[in-house]
Each structure stands twice: as structure tokens, then as C-alpha cells.
A and B are shown apart, each in its own frame.
Chain A
Amino acid sequence: MSGRNGRAGRILVLAMGNDLLSDDGAALHASRLLRWIVPENVDVVETSEAGFALLEFLEGYPRALILDAIRTGKQPPGTLLRLTQDDFAPVESPSPHYAGLPDLRTLADQNGISFPDEVLMLAMEVRDPYSIGEELTPEVSMALQDYVRAAADILMRWPRNGSLSHKHQAATGRAD
């Protein structure tokens, strides 16, 4: 349990992706800039894991902001999408590796693991998350500053003490 007790009252920024797969690493690139400007109550963590493994990252934090690359093909690369837990329908999870947030919450509740009361996802629409490479595509690279700024804005608006009294401030819907 080491380290998990210190999470109360703190905020987790969980950046997901693989920085060897071009745009799949967009959130990781953003988090490497973001970590220099976040308030002191924020932990910025990078991971290439998914699904079930994320429980260990989220456990114990009252609030979490997840950064990830997303490819819907429905909007131009570089577009930011803001998703709340309500946007993640509790669908049948096809895989624990792709376990959705509702599954993780169920699993956490079932096993008495403390799960964030508030989880917000800020995802960036990307062009190419499939090619091996460390470079972002130009559109995504250009949008990186906006990504960092939008993430920082969310963090600044969240209360420093980690309480949930300002829940209404969590933005909903799409940012574009």
C-alpha cells in the first residue's frame, strides 16, 4: 500500500499512450510540458498500460484528469475532446485491457478500493497512432500547446484541497 495513503487531497494527471507510435504519444508529449506548470497538489504520471492496470494508478486519488490520444475520424486532428464519466456508458467491457472507466469503478467498489469521485478525460483527436516513430504529425504537434493549456485550465479550476465542493466546474461536452 506504500504511497497510496499520500494521495488523499491530491489530483492525478494520468497521461496515456505509447510514444513510439507517433501520435499515440500525444498525451505523453503534452504531459511532459504540463508537469512544469501544474500546482503542487498535482501528480503527473505517464503510462503505456491500459485497462485493468489503470486501477493501481487511479486508486486513492479523489480527482483524476486523464489525457489520451483518440482517433474517431470525426473531427480534424488536433481537436480536443472533453469527456466526463457520464460520457462513458457502462458498456460490456470487451477486454480488461480495454476496461472502461465504469468497469474499473465497479471493480474498485467491489473490492473496497478507493476510486476517484471525479474523473475527467481530455483527449486529443490524432491523425496517425499506428506508425512506429517518435515524432508527432504536424497537426497534432501544432495543437500541443493548446492541449497543455486546456489541461492546465482544468487543473487550475479544481480546488487545491482536493475536495469535491466545486463539482459543477468540471466541464462537460466537447471543447471544440
Chain B
Amino acid sequence: MQEESKALWNDAQARAARSAMNARRITIDPITRLEGHGKVDIFLNTEGNVDRAFFQVPELRGFEIFSLGRPAEDMPQITSRICGVCPTAHHMAATKTLDDLYRVEPPPTAKKLRELMYNIFMLEDHALHVYILGGPDFIVGPEAPAALRNVVGVIETVGLEVGKKVISMRRRLRELMTLMAGKAVHPVFGLPGGVSKGIAKEDISHFREVAQDALEFSRFTLQVFHDLVLKNDDYVKLITSDTYTHRTYYMGLVDENNAVNFYDGDLRVVDPTGGVFARFPAANYLDYVAEHVEPWSYVKFCYLKPVGWNGFTEGADSGIYAVAPLARLNAAQGMATPEAQKAYDEFFATLGEPVHHTLANHWARVVEMLQAAERIVELVNDPEITGTDIRTLPTETPTSGIGVVEAPRGTLFHHYETDERGLITKANLIVATQNNSARMAMSVEKAAKDLVRNGEVSDGLLNKIEMAFRAYDPCHACATHTLPGQMPLIARIRGADGEILRELRR
């Protein structure tokens, strides 16, 4: 009898604890204005302050398993279909991986066509983020009501003419991509050793016209950023506040002059003081990048192998690094084009070097738009761009290939192994958001801890927590991969010791 009442008592205690825990759980779901899906869980302690906060991913796509046994040359098409957000990045990473797999070097014209295509994509995607995804935080303002923090609010703030400009520029860039690759969303363009189609001489004047307008548009965007963000002391304070600051390593692709490159080059890594930590070709990525697993997330947390995993901590002893626009600018020693270089100099003169402020990603993105536009102008005026030698036919028997590009959201690795027929036996993708996942988790937790006090959580406050990861422009649609390719879980609620108090299944 005594045992029975003891059991009852314990059960009641457990239920009470669970219900108290439930009451203290704040969930922002779905994360608004974010590519793909995500979820944040914030656990409060009894005083109503943040105990821990988790950034979780409720969607899974077992892509690597799906690709087994398929012909490697299908990968540029298949991977670009992973999601509608960054198809061109996957397409190009896969294409470069095929070059490596078949040990084939594309002719110069093919490389330039790929780079042109890639810079057009970069510009178009960055413009989307600046004006539509991240823009609402700055252009409309972080404290504005949610109903206005969207594209309609942005256009109301910057004016109708600007809205028209953004929409028309994006459309014209996408039309160029369609001209080059059949379609903008799922390109049919990259082949091992080259590309499927060149640019006809009679079409190049149209490319030049759009390129020049794109450059004007990028200059204009930098001006908008200056006028609306940099001249606003409150925004600048927010960008440089400790809440949005992490001292980590940074990684990005650089050319032979250590300038930012989106399409090709070596990976350069700088430490939290800005000193160069490593410079390596993509083929050696496994010597530098390792993945850490946490029980509460399906996303693997990348870290620098030579430094090691030291928990979610900052500084030179922690292998956590970042990718994406801010990281690219930090990891490079300059931009590859003159106007972007000027903007880069101003960026670092204003914020110091390296820049550890996560929200500076938005500014870095604008600097990168300028480089993309300038590079597009260079390429469409290069006489070789209308060349007809666009393919080197592969003759080698394939075994293994590694390719890398800078996706708008950061470094993207593809790695395939095949049998002698070129059928995939192993595929590994490390996507941008995965490279960033550890720093992003820290950002969310830090913002939550700094902003949620005594249980007070307003809509504006939640938005500020979301701003911490929105700056990375994360896309989780392809960041997760597990064996069955299915997401069996929605939420886990954990106690202070990490024990699961409650589990909600799909």
C-alpha cells in the first residue's frame, strides 16, 4: 500500500513537473521569412530567464541514399531538384564534382559561361534576400509590427519605383539564366568537362544590356543600404551589439589573389583574430571539416577538424566556423572587382577586422551583389564568352570526385564515389547551412538569453531572436540527412539534465 501511494505520489510529481515544463516552453514555429522549414525551442528556468534555446529542423531529406546506384552525370539535375531555393548552387557544385570525377578540364569558354551563369544566380538570389527575406528587418525595422515586416512593407518604405525595379531586375536576370540553361529553377546546363550550350554572338548584346542594368541596380542597392541602415544609429547599434556577436573562425572560397570567388578557387580559413589558419583545395576538405552530432538535432554541426569540437563555444580553441557573405569577406583579403573592393574597404573600416557581427551579413551580401554584377559585366564583354569550344569529352574511368562552390548561403561541398560504370556508390553533401549550423545555434541561444528577461516575450522580441539566424539566410531543406530519409520527430521537451520529459511524434 505504501509502495502504491509512493508510486502515485511520484507520478503526480512527474506530471506536475511536465506541465510546468510545458508552460515554460516558448516555440517560434514556423520560423518566419526563412528558406525551408525550421523551429526554435526556448526553455525558460523558474525565474523566466532562458535556460537553453535550440534551433531545430523539422524536415529531413535522405538525399544521399536516394542517389545510390544512379548515374553520376544525373547528379547536376537531381541535386538541383532538392529544393527550389538554391538549385543553381547544387547544379554547379555537382557539375564541378563531375569534372573531378572524370578528371576532365573544361575549355576556357565553358568555365567562363559557368561563372557567368553562377554570378547571375548569385546576384538574383542575394537581391531576393536583401529586399525580401532579410530586408524587412532593416528596411522596415525590427520593431515594426509583423504585418508590415514583409515585402509589401519593404516596398511601402522604399517606394513603389524601387519595388518595380527589384521585381523587374530579378525577372530579367532569371530570363538570362533561362536563355543559358533552359530554365532558371532546374538548370540543364553543366556537363562533365563543360556546358551544354554557349551564347550566340547575336544574343550577347542583350546580355550586355542586362549586365549594365544589373550593375546600376547593385550600386543603387548599396545606396539604399547606406541611406536606410547605416545612417540609422539604432540599426548600427543593433548590428554591433554583443547579442549578435560571435568570435569564431570563417571559411570561404578565394582566387589566386585571395579575393572572394563564388565559383572556384581554394578554401581559405581565418581564425577569430583574422589571421590565416588554412588554405586548401576542396579535394582535401575531409582533413579540415568534421561533423559533430547532438541528440536534439538532425543537422550535423560542422567544425574544423584540426581545432576540434569544444562544445558551443567561441574563440580560437573552438573549431566552430562560419560560412556565407560575412565569412567570405572575412576569409578573403579583398574583392575581385574594383567597386566591390571599395565597398569592402568601407565595410571593414567601419566595423573592424575581422567582423564578428552576425547581422553584418546583410551588408556583406550587398558588397557581394556588387562583385557579382561587376563580374557579370566583365564576362559578357570578354570576347571568349561567345566561343564555341564548350566541352572537353571525358575519357577516364571514374572513381571519386569532389567539388565546391560558394552558394549564396555559404560553402557547398559535393563528394561522390562511383563504380567503374559511373554509378554512384557513395554521396556526401555538406551544404552551407550545415557549415553554419553550430554558429547559428549559438546565435539563437545568445539572442534568446540576452533578449528574454523575466519571462517577458513580445512579438518584437521573438523577431529579434529570429533575426539572429535569418542573417545567415539559412536553408534547411537540404541541410539534414538521415538513413530512412524521413523525419520521425516533431518535438522533444527536455529537463535540465537532458532527460526527455515529453516527446511529440509526427
Contacts and interface: CB of A to CB of B under 8 A. Distances in A.
Interface stretch (B43-51, B62-70, B393-401): B62-70
A171 interface: no
Given A99-B151, A111-B163, A132 B185 contact: no
A47 B185 contact: yes
Contact of A20 (B30, B82, B151): B82
A52 B131 CA distance: 12
Contact of B32 (A55, A95, A130, A133): A95
A131 B132 contact: no
Given A49-B185, A111-B160, A133-B66, A96 B84 contact: no
Interface in A129-151: 130-133
B186 A48 contact: yes
A110 B152 contact: yes
Contact of B486 (A56, A107, A130): A130
Contacts of A93: 150
Nearest to B128: A52
Contacts of A175: none
A2 B175 contact: yes
A18 interface: yes
Contacts of A38: none
A98 to B, nearest CB: 8
A20 B163 CA distance: 34
Contact of B66 (A19, A20, A49, A94): A20
Nearest to B484: A131
Interface string A34-69: 000000000000011110110110000000000000
Interface size class of B (residues with CB under 8 A): 35 or more
B251 interface: no
Contact of A130 (B60, B63, B83, B163): B60
B81 A18 contact: yes
Contact of B150 (A103, A113, A132): A103
Contacts of A2: 175
Given A99-B151, A131-B485, A48 B33 contact: no
Nearest to B35: A97
Interface string B150-186: 1110010000100110010001001100000000011
A47 B84 contact: yes
A20 B64 CA distance: 13
B147 interface: yes
B224 interface: no
Interface of A: 2, 18-21, 47-50, 52-53, 55-56, 92-97, 99, 103, 106-107, 110-113, 128, 130-133
7 contacts: A19-B81, A20-B81, A47-B185, A110-B163, A111-B155, A131-B485, A133-B485
Given A21-B61, A92-B146, A107-B155, 17 more contacts: A18-B81, A18-B83, A52-B151, A56-B174, A92-B147, A95-B30, A95-B34, A96-B33, A96-B150, A106-B152, A107-B151, A110-B160, A110-B163, A128-B486, A132-B62, A133-B66, A133-B485
